[in-house]
Structure 1
Amino acid sequence: MTDAATSSTADSHHPLLWPLLATLLIIGWSSGFVGIRYANQEASVMLLLFWRTLLSGLILLPFALMIGPRISLRAVKDQALFGIMAVFLYLGGFALAIEQRVPTGMVALIADLLPLAIAVLSQPVLGESLTARQWLGTAIAILGVLVVSFDSLSFGTAPAWAYGLTVGSMLVFAVASVLHRKRKTQTMKVHQSLCIQMLVGSVLFGLCASMQGSLAPPMTRDFAIGMIWLVLVATFLAYAVYYTSLRLFPVAKVSAAIYLSPPVTMIWAWILFSEPLTVAMFAGAAVTLVGMWMTSRG
């Protein structure tokens, strides 16, 4: 069955499947802020990412070995590549940029341009071209993201390469998403591929963290709460739903859901940390929702 046929089947026989997956993806993708907020006060970003990926991989390991097809060496190599791109370079690149004092609002805005990069790449690589309606929806969604992020945008004192690092990290994840859709890895279950990617990421993050000091985790309540959130929601939910969706739907449609992560993140911050919500944020969220709807419908 071709990718187009798979997408068509998913759309026609499961009308509620995409709304459900999109909702879970938005919740999982935006929830990373919560875990980082709790845990980053207790540990460096690299140490935090090391324990996040290590725990995620170790929890998945027995299920990956016992449930699903036998994992071949070639499959391990393929997933290791995705782990380097979608876990280490993507998460690590943005984390390093923040440590270099690139303003968080600017980092978030660049990260949320990911769907646009994926849409551009999906046409020449996958042959999944966007219609005029979808390009208009993409433009509207980006406008909404700009409105939501406007108050937090600023240019800090970070070096120029740190800003380039954020763009590069976003593009790396876009390439990884398109390659994941293109490569014939359908026989490997999502939990198996995610396990390999997380363990590969943990090795690389561990090397980086070891250069900064000890790999021992802080034995504090905030770090534990943040780590539980990062592993269960921001990793298991977000990545599993994302890769599952890529197997069922066009990559540009899946990535369009990420446009709603900024307003949802701000709602998380309002509920948990009492950060203010403005009229502009609600207006931007509404505009983004319209753009996402147009892009998803195609």
Structure 2
Amino acid sequence: MIGLTFSWGLNSVAAKLANVGYNPVLVTVLRSAIAGVLVFGWCRWRGIALFQRDGTLLPGIVAGMLFGGEFLLIFHSLDFTSVARNTLMVNTMPFWVLLGAHFLLGEHMSVRKWLGLLLAFAGVALVFSDKLSLTGPHALWGDVMGLGAGILWAATTLVIKSTRLAHAGAEKLLLYQLAVSAVLIAPLLVLAGPLTRDLSALATGALLFQAIFVVAFTYVVWFWVMRRYPAAGLSSFAFLTPVFAVLLGGMLLGEPLSIRIFLALGLIAAGLVLVNRSARGRQ
């Protein structure tokens, strides 16, 4: 789990590096297409059934649309804001899921969860109030897109939890998101402007790292781990992804990291810990 969360934190750095050489829309399409082909090949090799009628087609399309929108916002956000700020905004996802499940699925929140939610949103407020780590005049716009990506990520989770997708195989669920997002976003390429920027081996390597290693490999490893270890125990590692992303953004990209960013990171991480400890208590 430490290796996985480190990889997901490094993925945020790779996304920003890929944006240097490629249009964010093209990154979104290529990332999903390459990973989709690899995951489909994995399923064929392992004999995993994908095409049986199980009532997941419509919710699968919806989940794929949300998935594609999420990563469009993430990659465009990184054109304006830093990896640290983007990651903190995107990783508010668990708290939007809490709110959605409370109001839409009837899953009532405990006092501890509400406290975790308040801590997380205090962290978000700190990010928006922090002027020292701004990367430019449009950084706040990038932060808003990152926050929107976290909301779409949460919406995807709620669609999965409330439909037949909850009973679908992990590989099929991932393929819905990859295939639908690639197909639906591809037409936007004609409106995206220049598809390449400052092409380099580093930008191409960053794109391939995301598609081949992060999506096609670590996601499958994640599903493997989820089947073999208690979910409550795994959830305690959730706060490590934004920690690694913030630190790696500063170390590898030289991004400005102010004391408010670290305070925001601490508040969001504390919120995640409270929420996850609440989940373990129920189990």
Structure 1 stretch 237-246 or stretch 187-196: which is displaced more?
237-246
1:233 shift after superposition = 4.5
Q: Could you tell me which residue of structure 1 aligns to residue 152 of structure 2? A: 172
Q: Could you tell me which residue of structure 1 aligns to residue 18 of structure 2? A: 39
Alpha carbons 1:148, 1:263 under 8 Å: kept: no
Deviation per CA, 1:62-114, whole angstroms, max 9, x where unpaired?
2234432342254344322211112x111113444566x57877655543332
1:223 shift after superposition = 2.6
SS of residue paired to 2:168:
coil
Counterpart residue identity of residue 48, structure 1: V
Aligned-residue Cα RMSD (Å) equals 4.0
CA separation of 1:216/1:154 partners in 2, compared to 1, >3 Å: closer, same or farther?
Answer: closer
The partner residue of 1:53 within 28, 32, 54 is 32
Counterpart residue identity of residue 107, structure 2: E
Alpha carbons 2:22, 2:195 under 8 Å: kept: no
CA separation of 1:268/1:48 partners in 2, compared to 1, >3 Å: closer, same or farther?
Answer: same
Q: Could you tell me which residue of structure 1 aligns to residue 91 of structure 2? A: 112
Deviation per CA, 1:215-246, whole angstroms, max 9, x where unpaired?
78997411331022212444246655389869
Deviation per CA, 1:176-226, whole angstroms, max 9, x where unpaired?
111212223355321222123212211223221244468789974113310
Counterpart residue identity of residue 56, structure 1: A
The partner residue of 1:264 within 234, 241, 244 is 244
Aligned partners of 1:197, 1:97: CA distance in 2, in Å?
20
Normalising by structure 2, report the TM-score: 0.74
SS of residue paired to 2:164:
coil
Alignment coverage as a number of residue pairs: 270
Normalising by structure 1, report the TM-score: 0.71
Q: Could you tell me which residue of structure 1 aligns to residue 281 of structure 2? A: none
1:132 shift after superposition = 0.5
Aligned partners of 2:43, 2:137: CA distance in 1, in Å?
43
Give ranges in structure 1 of 5+ residues lacking alignment.
Answer: 1-19
CA separation of 1:210/1:282 partners in 2, compared to 1, >3 Å: closer, same or farther?
Answer: same
Aligned partners of 1:126, 1:244: CA distance in 2, in Å?
27
The partner residue of 2:101 within 122, 135, 140 is 122
Structure 1 stretch 39-48 or stretch 232-241: which is displaced more?
232-241
Query: Does 2:73 align with 1:81?
Result: no
Q: Could you tell me which residue of structure 2 aligns to residue 90 of structure 1? A: 70
Aligned partners of 1:259, 1:153: CA distance in 2, in Å?
23
